Amino acid sequence: MKVYVHLMFTVSTLADAALKPVQGAAEGVIEMKYTIIHDCPDPMGQDILRYMQDSFKGIEGLQFIDLQSHPMEPCTGCFNCWLKTPGLCIFHDAAADIVKEIVNSDRVLFLNPLTWGAYSPQLKILLDRSLCRVLPFFETHKGETHHPSRYEKSPIPFLAGYGADLDQDEMELFKSTGQNLNDNLHKTGMETVIIRNRDDFHLLDSFAGTKSMGGAA
Amino acid sequence: MNRFLYINGSPRGEKGSSSALILEDIREILKQEGGTEEQVQSLTLPRKTGSSDSAILKKMEESDVWILALPLYIDVLPGHLTWWLREYQTFREALPDKKNIRVYGVVNCGFPEAVQNADALRVLKLFCRKSGLEWRFGIGLGMGEPYKQMHGIPLQSGMKKEILNSYKAIAADLQKKDTSDFGDFYVRIRYPKFLYKIQGAFGWVFRARQNGLKKRDLYARPLLEA
Ligand SMILES: Cc1cc2nc3c(=O)[nH]c(=O)nc-3n(C[C@H](O)[C@H](O)[C@H](O)COP(=O)(O)O)c2cc1C
């Protein structure tokens, strides 16, 4: 997908949602890379996936990655990705490749069935393997200790959880889970959405396409 | 009869995990506080996922009390543990009668703030509710990574008072007949946060040196595409 970047004096065109003004940037074309990482082991998830495949059809630079078809080694907690081979995991498997795709994306969407208010097992295995995206050192962020990012730029994350009969506690916890993911790994703008039925599918629309450009806070 | 199951949810397993030592300490305190244990078993959940093991799920089912210790991974439970608990939930759903199991959860994290474990405890609580298990309470433990190095300091020392009290609360909860709620505990060793952070940073650089790396090597960005 191509995003047209204009000089700041085109502020009057801000209302046009397809434009993303960047201060001082000369007019040019930026390639955007969108990555959708999905763990959809059930019919509801498959339905949502089909919806996204339809809505995002034709968007350049957008890829889908299916966690169900990629066996991944769970993290061993060895910290080698910090202290022995900085930035690289000891396991050279699908998770390592997917983490690389995330690092090099502009926007990343994680879709998974809400599991006790948090991530599905497959997605969580992948996220644990993302420890290599941060540095071992400590910094204070919003009054709590966190690790600084290894990479200057972080993809803007979009966390989507689905489930047919979710209770209030699960939904509240999932919102908090999204916030934590942002504070820990991304530290950029973040959207967390919960999909309970077909009426909620449209909440995914803003991830890519013309409607997405305002959200890059 | 009280059949106790001590479950280690760290992928580091029995050797080298803080979770293993936490379980050892709790077991010791429960013993001291009075004979609530009648049969004791331990279980370290395998790091490997993908194929289930009915022996493990049965062992989990055939107990009356779980003491589950785990590390905090990206704010919630480690992936492999999420996988195993999901397996157990599915297994339990299929059982015709579900007997009660009381669950205590201890989450330890690398950061100094114990409250960073709060969401992981909420996840465990929801897991219990969905699986028909009786969640009792949780302990969130900050500064968990050096639990090993500081294991030589007795639990009875002033520095570990908060931790000891939270372990004793498990014993007290097991002994009392009523079901009133203790609430969760957030504890850590009494140690200055700033010192912990400074030592942490030195510790990483020191360990990297042992691997033949310089401090600046730790900032590598090997995954960046040109
Ligand atoms: C993949 C991974 C993710 C982690 N995420 C967090 C985190 O979000 N917050 C935190 O305070 N510590 C985090 N830690 C640190 C562990 O919680 C800490 O090292 C803990 O003491 C390990 O306990 P164990 O030895 O019982 O496995 C993480 C460690 C790993 C390996």
Q: B151: Cβ below 6 Å to ligand 1?
A: no
User: What does the block give as tokens for B31?
Assistant: 């013993």
Among chain A residues, the shortest Cα distance to B82 is held by A121
pLDDT for A146-172, tens place per residue? 888 999 888 888 999 999 999 999 999
Tell me which chain B residues have a C-beta less than 8 angstroms from the C-beta of A77: 10-12, 17, 71, 78
Query: What's the domain count of chain B?
Result: 2
pLDDT of A209: 67
User: Do B9 and B114 fall within a single domain?
Assistant: yes
CATH 3.40.50.360 for domain A2-208 = yes
Residues B13 and B93 in one domain: yes
**A87 contacts B220? CB cut-off 8 A:** yes
Chain B: nearest CA to A20, how far in angstroms? 23
Whether residue B105 is found in the same domain as residue B7 = yes
Ligand 1 centre from B71 Cα, in Å? 5
User: Do B226 and B128 sit in the same domain of this protein?
Assistant: no
| Structural domain of B201 | 192-226
Identify the bridge partners of residue A3 per DSSP, sorted by sequence position. Answer: A30
Q: Is the CB of B19 under 6 A from ligand 1?
A: yes
Determine the atom of ligand 1 nearest the C-alpha atom of B116. Answer: 11
Which of A154, A156, A167 has its CA nearest to residue A190?
A: A156
pLDDT at position A17 over 60: no
Residues B53 and B16 both lie in one domain: yes
| B201 and B157 part of one domain | no
- Tokens 């009869």 correspond to B1
CATH at residue B68:
3.40.50.360
Regarding whether B219 and B176 lie in a shared domain, the answer is: no
pLDDT per position as a tens digit, B145-185: 989 989 999 999 999 999 999 999 999 999 886 666 789 99
| C-alpha distances out from residue A81 to A85, A92, A126, B211, Å | 5, 12, 14, 12
Whether B139 and B212 map to the same domain: the answer is: no
Q: Is residue B186 located within the same domain as residue B196?
A: no
For an interface test with A, the pick among B10, B17, B52, B76 (most A C-beta atoms closer than 10 Å) comes out as B76
Shortest Cα distance from A77 to chain B (angstroms)? 6
Interface predicted TM-score (ipTM): 0.95
- The strand order across the sheet containing A107-113 reads A62-66, A34-38, A107-113, A156-162, A191-195
pTM (predicted TM-score): 0.91
CB-closest option in A115, A137, A169 to B82? A115
